[in-house]
Amino acid sequence: MKKAILKSSRGGKRPGAGRPATGNDPVRTLRLSDEFIEKVDHWAAEQEDAPGRSEAIRRLVEMGLKAKR
């Protein structure tokens, strides 16, 4: 008796599969000390809109880049 080979409907890329993209900017990974993160979190908590950690880091970097030397 021969076994029938059936095409599996599992696996492979499917249209609409996976989590939708949240933005077009590539992800950047960096290591930060616990002390540094605490300072960032403290700064963020003092802001009127209390940004999340990622947004706080973006704002702080922008402020640093715009600062006069």
Per-residue pLDDT of 5-33, as tens digits, reads 666 666 667 787 787 777 788 888 999 99
Instruction: Flag whether pLDDT at 2 surpasses 70.
Output: no
Q: Which pLDDT score is estimated for 8?
A: 60
> Does a structural domain hold residue 54?
yes
- Write down the mean pLDDT value for the chain: 87
Q: Is the pLDDT of residue 49 over 80?
A: yes
For the chain, how many structural domains are there in total?
Answer: 1
Q: Are 44 and 50 in contact (CB under 8 A)?
A: yes
Asked if residue 19 belongs to a domain, the reply is: no
| Residue ranges making up the domain that contains 46 | 34-66
39 occurs within a structural domain: yes
Rounded Cα gap, residues 16 and 28, in angstroms: 25
First to last CA, the chain: 82
